[in-house]
Amino acid sequence: MNNKKSVSKKNKKTLNVFETFAGIGAQRRALENVKNKNPNFEYKIVATSEWDMYANISYDLIHHNTSRDRERERETSWSRNW
């Protein structure tokens, strides 16, 4: 007999996450680890907030496979604005 309760899809809830002070995405990585251990756990990153340009670039490279060309483009446009 299986002691785990099964959750029907219509009763399944998704945790919507707004990552404040996102840095390089440690919060997101922690949620990925929870999901790997608990396949029924659902989450969605709805937004992130980070003021540090380099942390934003790193976050994109780690979590969105952003190309290095886009990184250079951001650095160039950022420096022109200052």
Residues 6+ apart with CB under 8 A from 59: 22, 23, 24, 25, 48, 50
The answer as to whether 24 is a domain residue is yes
Give the count of domains, the chain.
Answer: 1
Tokens found for residue 48: 């992130």
Please tell me the predicted confidence (pLDDT) of residue 56.
82
The answer as to whether 57 is a domain residue is yes
The answer as to whether 9 is a domain residue is no
Q: Are 42 and 12 in contact (CB under 8 A)?
A: yes
The answer as to whether 72 is a domain residue is yes
C-alpha 36/C-alpha 30 separation (Å) is 10
Count of all residues that appear for the chain in the document: 82
The answer as to whether 3 is a domain residue is no
The answer as to whether 1 is a domain residue is no
Q: By residue range, what is the domain housing residue 60?
A: 15-81
pLDDT in tens, 9-65: 566 789 999 988 888 888 889 999 999 999 999 999 998 888 888 888 888 888 776
Q: What is the pTM of this model?
A: 0.57
